[in-house]
């Protein structure tokens, strides 16, 4: 097996193990989706790699159980990701571990583009933090990940009408938030 | 429902790009996953994914649909039980908690067609020669994994043997599932503070699968169970054997810390 290890997710397509090949393909297409979902579920950046690693080990184990008639591959992956996140949280609580996150290196002066990028991330992160958790995950899956409401409902094991209601509330809050940001910017420009 | 306007969509697109970067899978992480698989790691033990079908039904349809579904399920179980051979019944009675629960109610058709085809799913059955050549649509994964729970019509033993001989991959998956069931049984016994029960399950695994894919996990659990059963000297001897047999195991560090002499 080790001999088949490649540097990229496409390399193991030559693996003799069909399940390993299937996993490689799922990883190639959906690894970033899993990573983003873990982020939406509150996993901090330094732990994302560990989380994605564990998710794909579970995916490998469970590939034979996958039943595509019960939903899309993405909703199945989200279900696994959600449970692995819960597992990590429980394990951390059980062992009373408090991991110290190494602070990022001191901020160097960065170009305007980088400042703009950070500003977008900071603003939207602040908005997401302000949403009730149930609205937050619906908003993230539907409007950041682009999942249809029916798929979100499957992923979260909720009624589709409930999903529509949560998404509507989150979108209204988002529109108000963007309006407020624009207003603040105009005020700043006026003062300047 | 409120719609997301153009401004909102643009901001969220920028956020996704800025926060998570380009949508390229990480090669280094894949290499790490492969290394873990080579070492026999199975990832965390998580609860089975509940059937989404029942959860997404509209409240007004749940009542009658549930009654019909339960009736159908009971009938199916009775028919299946009558059709099973004694060996099958023995296997079926063994708990397989790692297996996801089966959908009792038929899932809604056409759900997958709502999905965004570009990022939806990958075709696994025919691996592309290059990443860019991947065909992306919603077909089942590969023939062995597409619908493993769909039971074929009853066959004679000879037919079944012939089928198994022609499909060694399916046999491997079944064996792995049986191995997982025993390992899970042992783990649950350990968690319930029943080390003797755990050792019995591990012995059963060793008899049935002396060279099974889970033998490394079996040895780790055996050491834990021996410790829990108060057989520390034997556990420490097993630790030495384990470290000799699997010097590069992902469990090595944990095993070294087990049953350390005071």
CA distances, B88 to each of A62, A140, A146, A183 (Å): 22, 45, 44, 69
Contact A76 B34 (CB under 8 A): no
Q: Which of A32, A72, A155 is the closest to B20 by Cβ?
A: A32
DSSP B119: G
CB A27 within 8 A of CB A69: no
CA B102, B48, A16, B138 torsion-angle sign? positive
- Cβ of B42 under 8 Å from any chain A Cβ? yes
CA distances, B158 to each of B120, B162, B164, B167 (Å): 41, 6, 10, 14
CB B4 within 8 A of CB A174: yes
Contacts of A65 in chain B (CB under 8 A): 99-100, 148-149
Contacts of B116 in chain A (CB under 8 A): 146-148
Q: Chains A and B: how many Cβ contacts under 8 Å?
A: 264
10 Å CB burial of residue B243 (0-12, 13-18, 19+) is: middle
CB B223 within 8 A of CB B256: no
Distance CA B250, CA B246 (A): 9
Contact A64 B30 (CB under 8 A): no
Residue B250 has, within 13 A of its CA and on its CB side, a CA count of: 14
CB B136 within 8 A of CB B117: yes
Q: What is the pLDDT along chain B (262 residues), one digit of tens a residue?
A: 778 888 888 888 888 888 776 655 578 888 889 888 888 877 777 655 544 443 333 333 334 445 555 566 666 655 555 554 444 444 444 443 333 333 322 333 333 333 333 334 333 433 333 333 333 333 334 334 333 344 444 444 444 444 344 455 556 667 777 888 888 889 888 888 889 999 999 999 888 888 777 788 888 899 989 988 888 888 888 888 888 887 777 677 778 888 776 5
What was the ipTM of the complex prediction?
0.74
Contact A171 B4 (CB under 8 A): yes
In a mutagenesis test of the A interface, which of B5, B7, B25 is the best target, namely the one with the most A β-carbons within 10 Å?
A: B25
* Helix axes of B157-166 and B168-191: crossing angle, nearest 10 degrees: 100
Nearest residue in B to A63, CA atom: B145
CB B242 within 8 A of CB B219: yes
**Residues 131 to 150 of B: which have CB under 8 A from any A CB?**
131, 134, 136, 138, 140-142, 144-149
Q: Give which of B237, B116, B235, B150 is closest to A151, Cα–Cα.
A: B116
Question: How close does chain A come to B197, measured CA to CA in Å?
Answer: 24
Tokens of A32: 């970033």
């Amino acid at each position: 097996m080790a001999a088949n290890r490649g540097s990229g997710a496409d390399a193991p397509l030559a693996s003799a193990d069909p399940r390993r090949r299937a996993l490689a393909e799922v990883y190639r297409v959906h690894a970033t989706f899993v990573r983003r979902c873990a982020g939406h579920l509150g996993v901090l950046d330094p732990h994302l790699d560990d989380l994605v690693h564990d998710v794909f080990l579970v995916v490998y184990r469970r590939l034979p159980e996958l039943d595509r008639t019960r939903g899309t591959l993405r909703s199945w992956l989200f279900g696994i990701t959600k449970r692995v996140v819960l597992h990590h949280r429980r394990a951390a609580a059980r062992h009373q571990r408090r991991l110290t996150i190494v602070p990022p290196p001191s901020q160097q002066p960065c170009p305007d583009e980088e400042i703009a990028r950070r500003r977008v991330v900071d603003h939207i992160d602040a908005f997401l933090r302000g949403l009730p958790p149930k609205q937050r995950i619906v908003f993230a899956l539907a409007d950041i990940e682009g999942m249809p409401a029916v798929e979100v409902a499957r992923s979260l094991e909720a009624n589709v009408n409930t999903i529509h209601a949560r998404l509507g509330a989150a979108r209204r809050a988002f529109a108000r938030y963007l309006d407020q940001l624009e207003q603040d910017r105009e005020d700043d420009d006026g003062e300047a | 429902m409120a719609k997301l306007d153009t401004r909102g969509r643009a901001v969220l697109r920028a956020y996704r790009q800025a926060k998570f970067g380009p949508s390229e899978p990480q090669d280094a992480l894949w290499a790490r996953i492969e290394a873990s698989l080579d070492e026999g790691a199975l990832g965390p033990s998580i609860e089975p994914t509940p059937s989404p079908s029942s959860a997404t039904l509209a409240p007004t349809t749940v009542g009658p649909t549930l009654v019909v579904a339960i009736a159908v399920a009971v009938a199916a179980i009775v028919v299946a039980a009558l059709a099973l051979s004694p060996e099958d019944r023995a296997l079926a009675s063994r708990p397989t908690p790692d297996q996801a629960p089966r959908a009792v109610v038929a899932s809604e058709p056409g759900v997958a067609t709502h999905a965004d085809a570009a990022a939806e799913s990958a075709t696994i059955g025919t691996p592309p020669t290059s990443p860019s050549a991947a065909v992306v649509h919603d077909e089942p994964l590969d023939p062995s994994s597409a619908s493993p729970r769909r039971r074929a019509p009853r066959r004679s033993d000879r037919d079944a043997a012939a089928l198994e001989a022609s499909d060694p991959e399916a046999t491997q998956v079944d064996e792995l599932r049986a191995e997982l069931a025993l390992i899970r049984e042992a783990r649950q016994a350990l968690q319930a503070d029943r080390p003797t029960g755990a050792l019995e399950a591990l012995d059963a695994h060793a008899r049935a699968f002396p060279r099974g894919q889970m033998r490394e996990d079996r040895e780790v659990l055996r050491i834990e169970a021996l410790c829990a059963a108060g057989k520390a000297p034997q556990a420490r001897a097993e630790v030495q054997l384990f470290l000799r047999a699997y010097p590069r195991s992902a469990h090595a560090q944990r095993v070294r810390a087990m049953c350390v002499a005071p």
